[in-house]
Each structure stands twice: as C-alpha cells, then as structure tokens.
Amino acid sequence: MGRQWQPGDPWTPPADPEKPPLPYKSGSLLKIRRDYPPAPFGPGYRGRRDPPRPLLHARFLATYRHTQVCLELPVLDLISTAPPTEGKVHTLEIVGEIARADGRGAQLVTCYKDGDRRTLLIAKVYDPLYYAFCGDMGGPMDVSFWADKDYAREAAAYERLQLAQLDFVPKYHGSWIFEQVIPTQPNKRRNVRMILMEYIRGETMASIFLSDKVKLRPATDRIEVMAKAMEMVCRIGQYGVGQMDFAPRNIMLADWEPDDAGILKEVSVFIIDFNTAMVKDATWKPPAALPTSPIDFFGTYPLQQFGGWLPEELQDKDTYKAWMRCHWEGSKDFQPLRPPPLPLPSADFE
C-alpha cells in the first residue's frame, strides 16, 4: 500500500469521467423552487455560529473524485429548510453569460423567470461541481462546504439589505433550489442553490480602469465615484452587514460612458458581491442612527488595488488621509469621529 497523501505534497485531482461539462449557458432551462437559506457561517463566525458540518480535511478528500464529493457529501441537503420537492415550480431561462467557467466558483448568468421578458435578472449559481477542487495551496477543497458558505452569506446579506431598501445594492429576487443529475447516474440527483437579483446595465470599476474607458472622465469624477462607494459601504454597515470585500471588481458603475448625444451623465454606483459578507445579527434590529464615518471605516484601508483608478497623489497615505478629512470631517451624515487611540506607555522608566 502506497504512502497516503499529506498536506504539502503535490496533488492532482483524479480523473473524473462522470463530471459533465458546465451546463449553465444561454438557452438552458431550469426548473426552480423557493429555498430558505441556512444562517450564514464560515470564517469569522467561529465561536458564534456553528457550521452545518465540520470542514472536511484535505487528507480525507484526496481519496475522492470531484463528482463523488458532490454526490456523496451533499452538505446542501443537510442545511436546507425547504425540501426541493415542495413549493411551486418556476421556469428559469438562461439567455446570457456574465462570468462562467469551470473552477471559478459561483456562476453568473442573465435570465428570465417564467417567461417575463420585461424583467432581466442575474442568477448566481453556487454549484460545488464547478468550484475549483484543487485549492490555491495545492490540496483538495471541500467544495460543497464552500459553495454553501457563499450561498448562505450572500443570501443573508441580500435579505437584510432588501429590508433596508437601499437603492445602491441590486434588488434581491429571492433564493432558489433546483436539481441536477449526473448523466451516467440518472437516478442520483443533487441539489443546487442560487439567488436571483436585479440586472444592472453597467461595468465594474475594475473592467473600466483596465481599459481605455477610464480616460472618458476626469480624475475629479473618478474621485467622486470612489467617495460614493466608500459612503455606500458605511451605509451597508449601518444595517448590520459587513461587505468584507471592498474592491474594484465589486463596484458596479452605470452611465460611465457618454450617451448617444455625447453627454456625460451622473454616474450611478452600486455595491455588489456579498459571498464573504458578515451579517451581525440573526434577526432584524433597528439600524444605528448614523453610519460610521468613512474616515474611521477606511482610515487604514490599503488602496493599492485602486491604483488604476485614483490619481497618483491620492495613493500617498498622508494625502489620502487629508482628502478624507476634507471630504467628511464634521459631516452630519455620519457618526462623530472616534477619539484617537491613547499613546502607548513609554519604555523609558527613568
């Protein structure tokens, strides 16, 4: 008997001939039912909320094929509060692809529900069979656990923010469940979860500054967009949701480009992507009277990833802090600034 695989050893996922090609493409139809997500769990919730099951050790998973993990270790079945055989059946027609690739994690597609062509939606599908089975550290990943974690956190965040009626977060159209089969094992079905949300016609900040489109607006416009996004994250926090992934890829901008008449309109800013979000309370509570000031929230936030968006001078730490104080110090729209921390005691006792 050979040596058992150990963390740190090279590992290649075993051949998996039963795994079907990625199915979520234009023209596909899904039969979906309402689902009731579990409470959010995962990193950051340790000690406060137990996960539906322990994260499986990579040494154990190394003996499995990807398809086996999704069929035999279906965390999804253990945590759902709504069996997939119950509830009204709806039809979802996929009509476009936004972010679709085997191994990328959640899949993003555009769709229509029940043939309603007036309302274009985005479906975010958390199918563990198309999460990366080989992790960044070179070992197997508990894909069902991580797909469930993403689903539970994002659904909890959208449900909370829907109550807050914030107009800079995509409108939430609920959590859903559907069945998929493995063609070679048609009697074995697995449950897949997804959420539906509003389609916003725009581009992410990341895609804009990686193209020449960033030059369509002056630096003052880019700075104003950045300030709006920072305020929005603070307002999201006012309702007990920490977005936890403030990055150019998660800031959506509409009307960045000039219209057909060549006129630049005011840019609409949206915060997207809540799969790592922290929802502070299990039940709804009244929000704080005012959100935390961006000066306190982002005072030490690294801005390197916004290097293609902000002018070079704002990437200097002191200039950045001075800009924040000029923009928000004394604002009545946010909580008063926290007092600075007390100085550490001197090491010189003489």
DSSP class of residue 131 equals B
Task: Flag whether pLDDT at 188 surpasses 90.
Answer: no
pLDDT range class, residue 78, cuts 50, 70, 90 = very low
Q: Is residue 86 over pLDDT 80?
A: no
- In whole angstroms, what is the distance from residue 350 CA to residue 339 CA? 29
Is residue 236 predicted with pLDDT exceeding 70?
A: yes
Question: Domain extents for the chain?
Answer: 29-198, 203-328
Q: How is residue 334 written in tokens?
A: 């946010």
Answer yes or no: is pLDDT of 258 > 80: yes
Fold of 203-328: Transferase(Phosphotransferase); domain 1 (1.10.510)
Is 203-328 in the same CATH topology as 29-198?
A: no
pTM of the model: 0.90
Asked if the model's pLDDT at residue 283 lies above 80, the reply is: no
Q: Edge-to-edge, what's the strand order for the sheet holding 251-254?
A: 203-204, 251-254, 268-271
Summary mean pLDDT of the chain? 88
Contact present, 335 and 293 (Cβ < 8 Å): yes
- In b/e form, how buried is each residue of 157-174, taking b as 16+ CB within 10 angstroms? bbbbbeebebebbbbbbb
Q: How confident is the model at residue 349 (pLDDT cuts 50, 70, 90)?
A: very low
Do the strands 90-99 and 29-34 form a parallel or antiparallel pair, or are they unpaired? antiparallel
Span 29-198 CATH architecture: 2-Layer Sandwich (3.30)
